[in-house]
Structure 1
Amino acid sequence: MRLGFTPEQEAFRLEAAAWLSAQLNGPFKMLRDLRSQSAMPDERRAWERALFDAGWSVIGWPKAHGGRGASLAEQVIFAEEYARAGAPGRMSHIGIELAGPTLIHFGSPEQQARFLPPISRGDEYWAQGYSEPGAGSDLGNVRTRARLDGDQWVIDGQKIWTSLAQFADWIFVLVRTEEGSRGTKGLSFLLVPIRQPGITIRPIRQMNGHAEFNETFFDGARTDAANVVGGVGNGWQVAMGLLAFERGVSTLGQQMGFVAEFDQIVAAAKANGAARDPLIRQRLAKAYAGLKIMRYASLRTLSADEGHSLSREASTHKIYWATWHRALGELAMDVLGQGGEIADSTDYAFPMLPNLFLSSRADTIYGGTNQIQRNLIAERALGLPREPRGDR
């Protein structure tokens, strides 16, 4: 097990850290430690273009598609330094980390040529159309439908929790294209322009006052027949491939952000006297130990494979960090006491630690609930028999 990085990888870290520091202490200072993923969209678009111009936008993509072909270790290093620098959440995250890799793996040459360049440049932004009111983690139960009308698909249905759809130009949608199909059969993966009369977006106001998520309604929305990825009826395979990207390297760099949150909790405990409580001290020690375990587990994953893919052990990352982070939010509120329940203003502008509590409640739900994660670990990592799924 390797507990560090090679000299070449550390040189890569210094290069990334220097560029990020220069930008976030200079022209993009206004974006440092930005809490809301929906704030300052114009400035964040400029940030995406700056990343592209400097060669940092899609470092994990193959060189043939405009990336650096960075190794897994280099991708993690950049994610760590990105979080350490207080850089804003990527407005193009869904395009770069989800849509792009999916098109690289499953897309046709024509689809790759059309969509990958504007994703990497930050010219076009994407949303994800998976979850529905009656089909959250159970994607095999989606009801949104699409039918061919000449050379176009016509789409009807509803998606929910579509992150940053209000800024998106395109949305990839898992739809049912075979009449009468059930479960994982008869699904297709469509690329749909989002700015059209057949699509309505309604923001969902969160507990912390932000509105990063949306309901998205399709009422006769249209997209070209060629905008199906992986072939008609192969949507389940493509959707599962995309989820593998979602649970990959993009989650590993979060740990630097977790360190900053933990340090703030410790500082608050010392400032208000909560650190004198032996139970609080015990929970702080447990949180610190959990953070270190998370770090070493990531390094263990890296040391097992120097290539570009994550090992089977990486399937445990999401359930571990999500559970740990949710508990960290609870610890933050117990350290703050009743004062942490009062917002600074009437628009629910909570400071960092109360916002941590509110936002971390969703960690064990989005991207696959803890229950779904346990199924994935059992079936895909351990090779255990699949659970009964009725007539699916």
Structure 2
Amino acid sequence: MNFEPDPQDEVFRAQVRTWLEAHLGTPHTRRSWERTLGRAGWIGLSWPEDGYGNRRAPLTQQVVWAEEYARSQAPPRSGHIGENLLAPTLLTHGTQAQKSRFLPPIARGEELWCQGYSEPGAGSDLAGLRTAAVRDTPTSYRVTGQKTWTSLAHEADWCFVLARTDPTSHRHHGLTFLLVPMDQPGRIEVRPIRQLTGTSEFNEVFFDGAAARAEHVVGGEGNGWRVAMSLLGFERGVSTLAQQIGFANELAEVVRTALATGAADDPVLRDRLVTQWAELRTMRWNALRTLGDTTDPAAPSVAKLLWAHWHQRLGELAMQVRGAAGAAGPADWSPTEPYALDPLQHLFLFSRADTIYGGSDEIQRTIIAERVLGLPKEPRGTKG
């Protein structure tokens, strides 16, 4: 694809910047911010269909929006999972009734979603999941089991859940993709997982006979694996470019700190900073290249391996340029009180998980080995 600047894209960029500048100064909760984005028509730009309250934009303008949003340091999105994961999945596999019911509230920023995939014994090996959905009436299921590392479950109105509907099945067979409402007191419990950073974006979710309607099965009973793998294909894309803008902001802060502390006088450390900058530029051009080619099965795995290790090294650099001060709290900190991490401390601690969440390094390398290089498949514990 041609990603040279286009006059129309530059007009669009100016519109985006003007709107963000006008609205970022107003206090918002994360949920009210989603509604603000929805009212302005900024949700659903990448959807292959319009007519659900969204407006479509060409790929180059999707890139502009994502980059300007990240560059403005706008609030983290609570609606990302619904907009960029569930919506494309419904547009591909959903019925017209499902699209009409669920896409407009996502486009308006009114309903938030979380993803019920990983389990304590089935994280990277998703096919080993145990959560069960039993058809208790002709029109409903009861879902029982546990999901973990569920991002933003504490804020979500709905969860798309991969569950086993055939109790005799193994591995990726007999799975179903269900849309489950989260407002079921006594049947759904959300427990935040406290991270190294002290924050709790991730959660454990316990389903105890939670109700799901049969009309909210996506792709048909027993076809959950196909739908789930399709969804994972939407997980990376334009958002990768926005992520890289965030990385660039973090790198700039590390460089400023290195200059302020004198750490930049060390030629070895200067070389590492330059390498980080060059690698980030390379990742950008790789991301742009793969946006125009949806036929490369290795592209998402290669991108994940690249950015995860790059970001971990940046976190390590952040502590190195801080020196001993990086391991200490604020100057006025009392040992009897907790304290908030500064941005570079948060970067270091959070990035330790980069090579695990979103598909571990081992899984990404296995995908490349099996699907691209044609190497023999790894032995599985249970034959499907």
TM-score between the two structures when normalised by the length of structure 2: 0.92
Q: Percent identity?
A: 54
Residue aligning to 2:193: 204
RMSD of Structure 2 on Structure 1 (CA): 1.9
Q: How does 1:215-230 map to 2 (within 5 A)?
A: 215-230=204-219
Q: Deviations over 1:100-139 (max 9, x none)?
A: 1111111111111111111111111111111101111111
Which residue identity is paired with 1:218? F
Large movers: runs of 4+ above 6 Å: none
Q: CA deviation at 1:311?
A: 5.2
Structure 1 residue 9, shift from structure 2 partner: 2.0
Give the one of 69, 78, 81 matched to 1:91: 78
The answer to whether structure 1 residue 188 and structure 2 residue 176 are counterparts is yes
Which of 318, 323, 341 is residue 309 of structure 2 equivalent to? Answer: 323
Number of the residue aligned with 1:38: none
Q: C-alpha separation between the residues in 2 aligned to 1:253 and 1:311?
A: 21
Question: Please, which of 372, 375, 381 is the counterpart of residue 363 of structure 2?
Answer: 372
Q: Is 1:81 paired with 2:68?
A: yes
Deviation string 1:68-93 (CA, Å, 9 cap, x unpaired) is: 22222221221111000011111111
Name the SS for the 1:115 alignment partner: helix
Alignment of 1:17-32 (within 5 A): 17-24=17-24, 26-28=25-27
The structure-2 alpha-carbon separation of the partners of 1:313 and 1:371, relative to structure 1 and needing over 3 Å to count, comes to closer
* 1: CA distance, partners of 2:151 / 2:42: 23
CA offset digits 1:49-73 (Å, max 9, x no partner): 1111111122112213333222222
Residues 1:233 and 2:222 are matched in the alignment: yes
CA distance in structure 2 between the partners assigned to 1:291 and 1:360 by the alignment: 16
SS at match of 2:76: coil
1:107 aligns to what? Answer: 94
Q: Which structure 2 residues correspond to residues 292-303 of structure 1 after superposition, within 5 A?
A: 292-302=281-291
Distance 1:262 1:193 in 2: 40
Give me the whole-angstrom Cα distance separating, in 2, the residues matched to 1:3 and 1:111: 35
Q: Which residue of 1 aligns with 2:52?
A: 65
Alpha-carbon distance in 2 for matches of 1:383, 1:54: 47
| CA positional deviation for 1:371 | 1.7
Specify the alignment match of 2:11 in structure 1.
Answer: 11
Amino acid across the alignment from 1:293: T
**Alpha carbons of structure 1 residues 388 and 247: separation in structure 2 relative to 1, 3 Å:** farther
CA contact (8 A) 1:58 1:68 kept: yes
8 Å contact kept, 1:209–1:348:
no
The aligned runs of 1:1-392 (5 Å cut-off) are 2=2, 4-24=4-24, 26-28=25-27, 43-61=29-47, 62-150=49-137, 151-196=139-184, 197-302=186-291, 304=292, 312=297, 314-315=299-300, 316-344=302-330, 345=333, 346-381=337-372, 386-389=377-380, 391-392=383-384
| Distance in 2 between residues matched to 1:6 and 1:361, nearest whole Å | 39
Deviations 1:321-349 (A, max 9, x none): 11111111111111112211223354341
* Residues 153, 224 of structure 1: 8 Å contact kept: yes
Deviates more, 1:4-13 or 1:71-80: 4-13
Say if 1:3 and 1:300, in contact at 8 Å, map to a contact too.
no
Residues 208 and 348 in structure 1, CA contact (< 8 A), matched pair in contact too = no
Q: Unaligned regions of 5+ residues in structure 1, if any? A: 29-41
> Contact 2:119 / 2:148 at 8 angstroms: preserved in 1?
yes
d(CA) in 2 for partners of 1:314, 1:76: 18
Quote how far apart the aligned CAs of 1:314 are: 3.4
3-state SS, counterpart of residue 281 of structure 2: helix
Aligned residue-pair number: 374
CA separation of 1:69 and 1:314: change in aligned 2, threshold 3 A: farther
Contact 1:189 1:234 in 2 (8 A): yes
Q: Give unmatched runs, 5+ long, in structure 2.
A: none
- Write the distance in 2 (CA, Å) between the matches of 1:238 and 1:15: 36
The answer to whether the Cα contact below 8 Å between 2:44 and 2:54 also exists between their aligned partners in 1 is: yes
